[in-house]
Amino acid sequence: MLVAAAVCPPTPLVLLEMPDLRSACRTAIAALREARPDALIVVGGADATGAYAGGAAGTLRPWGLDLTAGTGEPVLPLSLTVARLLMGEPAPDGFRSVAFDAAAGECRELGEQLAGAGERVALLVMADGSACLGPRAPGRYDETAGPYNDGIAKAIAAGDASALAALDPGQADRLWVSGRAALQVLAGAAGTRAFDGRLLMAAAPYGVGYFAGLWAG
């Protein structure tokens, strides 16, 4: 059963810049540990859905940064590598990637599966919002991106799983919301349970929506 969840951005920038956002993420991660879960699992978007052991390694060397965490050959995709570096020690109990283009139903089923991993499960969800929020954004500016991104922020703040479950994959793809699938895994894990949500911080310094949030059951 899901008892706590945190949302943090999967960008290396949170490790190098944006100290306020990094601090908010670490506050959220500390709260997950304080919930004393039987299993703490990290979920993040990637090119393909997969599972990795908690001790798995990830590196940012392909992105020009000499930062590595974990043991063995680096295998974690970017979103999970950023999470591993944010978390420090101890390592989580496991990592799950979800394909960026995974259908909403597939995300829901994965979330339900993860919530059933123990009596007390906590999720660290690495997900960002739209990358079409301004002229400096990676994607082309879209006037509908702001309201869509605000909707995600409100859902995180309210602990509203139904709003995350209702995110439209087609619209998310058009607005470069790469975190859509991971957020819908969170929605599947939460199910119909009520959570107290807190949006610790929201920012879009480079035209990409970044969030730090916490859900407590």
Contact 191/112 with Cβ under 8 angstroms?
A: yes
C-alpha 118 chain-centroid distance:
20
Pairing of the two strands 196-203 and 39-46? unpaired
Residue 217 has pLDDT above 90, yes or no: no
* Reported pTM: 0.96
Question: What band does 53 get if pLDDT is binned at 50, 70 and 90?
Answer: very high
The predicted pLDDT at position 150 comes to: 97
pLDDT of 175-216, one tens digit each?
A: 999 999 999 999 999 999 999 999 999 999 899 999 999 999
pLDDT of 54-104, one tens digit each?
A: 999 999 999 989 999 998 999 999 999 999 999 999 999 999 999 999 999
The predicted pLDDT at position 62 comes to: 92
* Rg of the chain (C-alpha set): 15
With a pLDDT cut of 70, the percent of the chain lying above it is 100
The predicted pLDDT at position 148 comes to: 96
20 vs 73: CA distance, rounded Å: 31
Residue 173 has pLDDT above 90, yes or no: yes
How many H helices and E strands in the chain? 8, 10
140 vs 129: CA distance, rounded Å: 14
The domains found in the chain, sorted by start residue, are 2-216 (3.40.830.10)
The predicted pLDDT at position 118 comes to: 87
The predicted pLDDT at position 67 comes to: 93
Tracing tokens 């995600």 back to the chain, one arrives at 152
137 vs 133: CA distance, rounded Å: 6
pLDDT of 125-166, one tens digit each?
A: 999 999 999 988 999 999 999 999 999 999 999 999 999 999
Residue 23 has pLDDT above 90, yes or no: yes
159 vs 174: CA distance, rounded Å: 25
H helix intervals, the chain? 13-16, 19-34, 78-87, 104-115, 145-158, 161-165, 169-174, 180-190
Question: What band does 37 get if pLDDT is binned at 50, 70 and 90?
Answer: very high
54 vs 148: CA distance, rounded Å: 33
Question: What band does 117 get if pLDDT is binned at 50, 70 and 90?
Answer: confident
Question: What band does 172 get if pLDDT is binned at 50, 70 and 90?
Answer: very high
Question: What band does 29 get if pLDDT is binned at 50, 70 and 90?
Answer: very high
